[in-house]
Each structure stands twice: as C-alpha cells, then as structure tokens.
Amino acid sequence: MKIAIPVAGGQLCPHFGHCEQFALYDVDPETKNVLKTEFHTPPPHEPGVLPRWLSEMGATTIIAGGMGARAQQLFVQNNVQVVIGAGGGDPQAVVEAFLADTLSTGDNLCDH
C-alpha cells in the first residue's frame, strides 16, 4: 500500500493541488508500519495531471484536506482511494492515524 499526502511547509496541505510536495509512504497494512517515505515535487497543477501522476507513482490512497469533485473522480478512475477532510498536521502522524483507523476527518476543505 502506498499513501500520498500533499505537503506544504512540512504539514498536510489543506488542498492537494496547492502543495509544495507529495509525501509518499510505503506501508504494510497488516503490521500498520511505515516502511519507506519519499518526497516528490509534483508537476504543475492542471486538471487531471496529479491523479494520473500519483497513480503512476504507485499511490493506492490519497489523504487530503480538500479536493474538487472532478479530481476525486479521476483518482477513483485510477484506482486510488480518496480520503478527504483530514486536518493539518505532521504527514507521518496522519498516515499513522489512518493505519490505526483513528484518523479524524471533517468537511471537504475544497468547494470546486
């Protein structure tokens, strides 16, 4: 399993399309351990680019604060599970909370 987190200033970015980097976490869902972490600078944000790029990088899940409906559809079409409404914070802590099934999510922080 590979989880993508949009990051800005070292924290989960509220909107995935406005992040500085994506943290990609290789995780073992059985043991709930992070095996490897990589940071990648995304290509310029244009409709449809980021879902395809993250899918090609092997992402199976994306956790974000907010995301437009079209981007959500494109992730699903690329077989990437979408989790939205995550608050800010340390990206590794977000991943660990997701793995422990304790991630608190709220409203989608994006309205387009």
* pLDDT of 111: 58
Of 30, 26, 21, the closest CA to residue 2 belongs to 26
80 is a domain residue = yes
* 30 CB-near residues (< 8 Å, 6+ apart): none
* Termini Cα distance of the chain: 28
34 is a domain residue = no
Number of domains in the chain: 1
29 is a domain residue = no
87 is a domain residue = yes
Exposed, middle or buried: residue 41 (CB in 10 Å: 0-12, 13-18, 19+)? Answer: exposed
* pLDDT of 110: 65
Structural domain containing residue 70 = 1-8+60-103
55 is a domain residue = no
2 is a domain residue = yes
CA distance 28 to 71: 26
* pLDDT of 112: 52
Kind of pairing between the strands at 21-28 and 2-8: antiparallel
Residue 105 pairs in a beta bridge with 86
37 is a domain residue = no
Question: What string of pLDDT tens digits covers the 112 residues of the chain?
Answer: 999 999 999 999 887 888 899 999 999 989 999 999 999 999 987 888 999 999 999 999 999 998 888 989 999 999 999 999 998 789 999 999 999 999 988 877 665 5
**8 A C-beta contact, residue 82 and residue 76:** yes
